[in-house]
Amino acid sequence: MAILTISDQPGIRSDDLARDVAGQLQFDLVTQSRLDSLYQSEFAGADAIPACGYADIVISMMARLATEHHLVFAGAGAQYLFRNFPDVFRILLVAPPPVRAGAVMVERSLERPAAAAALRALEREHSVWLQARFGRSAAKPAAFDLTCNAERWDASTLAATIVAAARACGLDHAPLLPPTAERQIQFEVRLRLARLGVPPPGAVSLPARQFAHPSEGIFANLLDFYRIAWEYEPRSFPIEWDEQGHVAESFTPDFYLPELDLYIELTTMKQSLVTKKNRKIKRLREVYPEVNVQVFYQKDFENLIFKYGLEKTAEMIG
């Protein structure tokens, strides 16, 4: 899988250049406008998604595309994305402020002082946008593989230079992203989005419900990913009664897996609170010996997630 990213300073419009580069390399083009359209179409109420979830959502969508095409990505924040992807080539387009102000002046039909002010506003907005989504407002030069001065070269020369550099690095001969690696990326994204309460992209998503603890949302993602049917807190079991025969205490396992006839209880709480829950589980087994219940303690849960969800993507690709 090859991804060529084209980033630019505010005031430089790189979409046409990216389109030319993608055409020459025969890569699929993803611009910021296309990305925003995908983002809005895949997530109901996308505007309400926390900004810190943006990077994972972009990675998810791009990984899906990368199983079928090599990509040219001309979107904001590209320098912070795809760090664990192989065959990524990062381009930065720069130009002096007067040149970029001139471009804004032409694009918006402004006088030069107004265009210079508009450029400063664009730069501030860009920094705020990056800070909210990636925790950084500006990228260091070392974040890019090639920096091009858009003042000195015309668009066709820039495109030819970028294409030649990409071919010299072998991007046009790189393999596509393997399905196994894509599935691993999607699962890792699901885990991180679950912690933010964001339903994952794609056909399989969490039902709209409120989990009592973030770990339950993560576990539900794990079950969804492996296509294991589940129900959340479907039944409460009375385990203690008073002298009049009224239910005095009940226990409600977190999950039920109907295909396995198995109840799951997650116990990721503090150790001081585990004793009470253990007593309830012991009592459940005494009163309902026919009920199959499995308990996952905090260490069990962490080992489960590490084993099935946090393997290094690079290892799978290699």
Tell the residue number behind the tokens 């030319």, with chain if given: 20
The pLDDT of 139-165, averaged and rounded, is: 91
CATH assignment, 3-177: 3.40.50.300
pLDDT for residue 310: 42
E strands along 33-134, which residues?
A: 71-74, 88-94
Answer for the pair 58, 198: CB distance below 8 angstroms, yes or no: no
Question: Long-range contacts: 225-234, Cβ < 8 Å, 24+?
Answer: 225/183, 225/186, 225/187, 225/190, 226/308, 228/257, 228/259, 228/260, 229/257, 229/258, 229/259, 230/255, 230/256, 230/257, 230/258, 231/255, 231/256, 231/258, 232/207
Average pLDDT in the chain: 82
pLDDT for residue 152: 85
pLDDT for residue 307: 58
pLDDT at 5 exceeding the cut of 60: yes
Q: Which of 32, 47, 146, 142 is nearest to 78 (CA)?
A: 32
Q: Which of 308, 310, 279, 69 is nearest to 177 (CA)?
A: 69
Q: pTM higher than 0.75, yes or no?
A: no
List, in sequence order, every residue forming a beta bridge with 249; answer none if it has no partner: 240
The pLDDT of 50-74, averaged and rounded, is: 87
Q: Where are the domains of the chain?
A: 3-177, 181-309
How far is it, in rounded angstroms, from Cα 265 to Cα 253? 5
Helix, strand, coil shares, percent, the chain, to 5: 50, 15, 35
Instruction: Write out pLDDT tens, residues 256-283.
Output: 998 889 999 988 655 566 788 888 999 9
Q: Which of 97, 69, 89, 104 is nearest to 7 (CA)?
A: 89
Amino acid identity of 181? A
More confident residue, 199 or 170: 170
How far is it, in rounded angstroms, from Cα 195 to Cα 211? 11
Instruction: Write out pLDDT tens, residues 65-112.
Output: 888 899 999 988 888 888 767 789 999 999 999 999 999 999 899 999
How far is it, in rounded angstroms, from Cα 142 to Cα 13? 22
| Number of residues assigned to the chain | 318
